[in-house]
Amino acid sequence: MSYQALYRVWRPQSFHDVVGQEHITKTIQNALMQDKLSHAYLFSGPRGTGKTSAAKIIAKAVNCEKAPTAEPCNECDNCLGITNGSISDVLEIDAASNTGVDDIRDIRDKVKFAPSAVRYKVYIIDEVHMLSTGAFNALLKTLEEPPPHVIFILATTEPHKIPLTIISRCQRFDFKRISSQSIVDRMKTILDSNRIVPDDDALHLLARAAEGGMRDALSLLDQAISYSEDEVRVEDVLAVTGAVSQGFLSQMAKAFKEQDVAKALQVAGRLMAEGKDPVRFITDLIYYYRDMLLYQTAPGLEEVLDRVKVDEEFKELSQETDRTWIYKVIELLNQSQQEMKWTNHPKIFLELSLIKICQEERQESAGAGQELLKKIEVLEQQVKELKEKGVAMAPPDSSAPAVQEKKTFRTAGRGSGTNTGRVKEMLKKASKPNLIQLKNNWGTIMEKIKSEKVSVYALLSGAEPVACSDQDVLLSFQHEIHSQMASSDNIRSCVEGVIYSTIGKSLTMLTILQPEWDTVKKEFIQQQQRGDSNSQAEAEDPLIAEAKKLFGEELIEIKE
């Protein structure tokens, strides 16, 4: 088979070709020129970022006939032999398939022999984290004191799995993901050499789909060229990668903003008809909103955007979309993505998540409206109380602060040094239905108080609601000290807040001692009865009232 994949043909053969890792290549080149190479290196980083390629370039550079040199010449026998794998002194070992102790012991035994064809033996161990514990232990001594003619280069995508004893014996270099622009520039170089004119948008799509890996990008490019018959177009890239075009994502974002469920489901239906993966679509949407958030924060840093190309439509949506709403959409999409991983019907979960997002803003608006109405009701109630009761004013020569005046005004009973007029005024407006409602919910109120403040719960354990109006609630206490303590601002506000959250009424709490309550209650009932008798007398005909006085009520018979 004569054809070779692009990533093999265009594998870097010099440090200049290692794209996006200048912080590593420059350091190694300086070490080569100064002849200060270490005996062991650890290359870590994502797949397809040039770790093993850089290792082979080092092997060529140290063994090049023109050494010391910053770049291998790739022309001498040593460079050509290492490139085609004919020189046995440079070994590339896959640790995934050579994980045992015996494999490493074989290397350890052969290390002491001098190289046969070049100056240095170079052992490149790929995916080194796959070695067993015993194999790592066998490698330790060799890494610590290797012969002067040996260089070890360990490569891994998961450095956290490597023992610290190994890491401490190596110079570590962390390869980073390659930027989308660097990948695009590299692909343009390759396409120019093949005389293919690409679509820039298609190359950007390929670079974003590669997620920072050059090898993945070239594999996708190879596939796109084969699919489109020596062309690279957006439609072909979308078909090859399974990604969703930015136009679809923008349409979905508009549907979310307009709360248009029908439009969102239509867009999703077209995507499913094209065979797109629902999970992949959710992922693309998450990245779309992520890039929108970054663009709002730093419009000038387009290079930090992963998936989105900044066009007029994207700019307009970014300006019109609230940042809080973006956070909410990303959260909901992430929840749906997690749920879709464990279902056999991802399409249904996709549709449900789209409907939920379209309706979410309405629900939030309605919730905010209800909260505002509650606050307005509380304010109206407070204004009503002020109109009915007036504002308590301190006498001119009083030195007591207003808060103490407030305490004295709200607490009833002789034990606290106040009169019972406030309670009698409150009883005129009290009603039995109000008291029944409060008593029915008193157990719930006490449980809530217990969960918030146990000390308040203990204080109120002997208290009992004895009267309730639309504005006030009266609690009777057995002990004077409990009544006085309950009248303090912090305890009273706690009780009033729990009552409001339970029955939805803003009530002012009054306190009274039980003996005083018995007296006040009796006086109030007698007063009411006298008032009723007087009212009846005033309502009688004057002639009948006079006749009762003269002859007695039992001798009079009234006929209409």
Residue 213's CATH number: 1.20.272.10
- Closest by CA to 87, choosing from 113, 118, 124, 112, is 118
What is the rounded CA–CA span in Å between residue 96 and residue 558?
A: 116
Same domain, 550 and 470: yes
Which secondary-structure segment (H or E) carries 464? Answer: strand 464-468
Q: What is the pLDDT along the chain (560 residues), one digit of tens a residue?
A: 467 888 888 899 999 999 889 999 999 999 999 888 899 999 999 999 999 999 999 999 999 998 888 999 989 999 999 998 888 899 998 888 877 788 888 888 888 888 888 999 999 999 999 988 888 888 888 888 888 899 999 999 999 999 999 999 999 999 999 888 889 999 999 888 888 878 888 888 888 888 889 999 899 888 888 887 767 888 778 777 777 777 888 888 888 888 888 998 998 888 888 778 888 888 888 988 888 888 888 777 666 666 677 778 888 888 888 888 899 899 889 888 888 877 788 888 888 888 888 887 544 444 455 566 666 777 777 777 776 665 554 454 444 444 444 333 344 444 443 457 788 888 888 888 888 888 888 888 988 888 888 778 888 888 889 899 988 888 988 888 788 888 887 788 888 888 988 888 888 888 888 888 888 888 888 887 776 656 555 555 666 666 665 556 655 666 65
Residue 152's CB is within 10 A of a number of other CB atoms, namely: 24
Same domain, 212 and 334: yes
Same domain, 207 and 166: no
Burial of 220 (0-12, 13-18, 19+ CB in 10 A): buried
What is the rounded CA–CA span in Å between residue 528 and residue 407?
A: 29
> What percent helix, strand, coil does the chain show, rounded to 5?
60, 10, 30
| Per-residue CA distances from 263 to 96, 97, 280, 451 (Å) | 49, 52, 20, 47
Q: Spell out the residues 6+ positions from residue 506 whose beta carbon is closer than 8 angstroms to its own.
A: 377, 378, 381, 382, 496, 500
- Classify 513 as helix, strand or coil: strand
Q: Spell out the residues 6+ positions from residue 258 whose beta carbon is closer than 8 angstroms to its own.
A: none
Q: Spell out the residues 6+ positions from residue 195 whose beta carbon is closer than 8 angstroms to its own.
A: none
What is the rounded CA–CA span in Å between residue 256 and residue 182?
A: 34
Q: Are 255 and 267 in contact (CB under 8 A)?
A: yes
Q: Spell out the residues 6+ positions from residue 453 whose beta carbon is closer than 8 angstroms to its own.
A: 494
Q: Tell me if 47 is assigned to some domain.
A: yes
* CA-CA-CA-CA torsion sign (512, 514, 518, 521): positive
- Give all strands (DSSP E) within 34-95, no chain letters: 40-44, 90-94
Q: Tell me if 376 is assigned to some domain.
A: no
> What CATH number did the domain enclosing 139 receive?
3.40.50.300
What is the rounded CA–CA span in Å between residue 231 and residue 220?
A: 13
pLDDT of residue 405: 40
Same domain, 429 and 458: yes
Where is the domain boundary, 134, 156, 176?
176
pLDDT of residue 361: 54
**Tokens standing for residue 205:** 């799509």
Residue type, 313: E
Q: Tell me if 406 is assigned to some domain.
A: no
Same domain, 248 and 209: yes
Same domain, 20 and 149: yes
- Give all strands (DSSP E) within 95-238, no chain letters: 121-126, 150-156, 171-174
Residue type, 312: E
CA angle at residue 475 from 474 to 477, to 5 degrees? Answer: 145
Q: What's the chain's length in residues?
A: 560
pLDDT of residue 35: 85
**Number of domains the chain contains:** 3
Domain carrying residue 10: 6-176
Pairing of strands 171-174, 464-468: unpaired
Same domain, 339 and 271: yes
Residue 417's CB is within 10 A of a number of other CB atoms, namely: 9
Residue 310 C-beta-side C-alpha neighbours within 13 Å: 17
Q: Which residues pair with 512 in a beta bridge?
A: 476
Same domain, 86 and 187: no
Q: Spell out the residues 6+ positions from residue 160 whose beta carbon is closer than 8 angstroms to its own.
A: none
Where is the domain boundary, 176, 193, 213?
176
Same domain, 438 and 489: yes
Q: Are 157 and 47 in contact (CB under 8 A)?
A: yes
DSSP 306: S
Same domain, 140 and 198: no
Which single residue is written with the structure tokens 């009544």? Answer: 483
Same domain, 155 and 301: no
What is the rounded CA–CA span in Å between residue 150 and residue 186?
A: 34
pLDDT of residue 40: 92
pLDDT of residue 151: 93
Q: Tell me if 134 is assigned to some domain.
A: yes
Q: Tell me if 463 is assigned to some domain.
A: yes
pLDDT of residue 456: 82
What is the rounded CA–CA span in Å between residue 335 and residue 267?
A: 21
Q: Are 460 and 495 in contact (CB under 8 A)?
A: yes
Q: What order do you get walking across the sheet with 472-477 strand by strand?
A: 464-468, 472-477, 508-513
> What CATH number did the domain enclosing 487 receive?
3.30.300.180
Q: Tell me if 334 is assigned to some domain.
A: yes
Q: Tell me if 371 is assigned to some domain.
A: no
Q: Tell me if 377 is assigned to some domain.
A: no
DSSP 555: G
Where is the domain boundary, 158, 176, 194?
176
Same domain, 306 and 170: no
Residue 133's CB is within 10 A of a number of other CB atoms, namely: 9
* Ramachandran area for residue 178 (φ above 0: left; ψ -120 to 50: alpha; else beta): beta
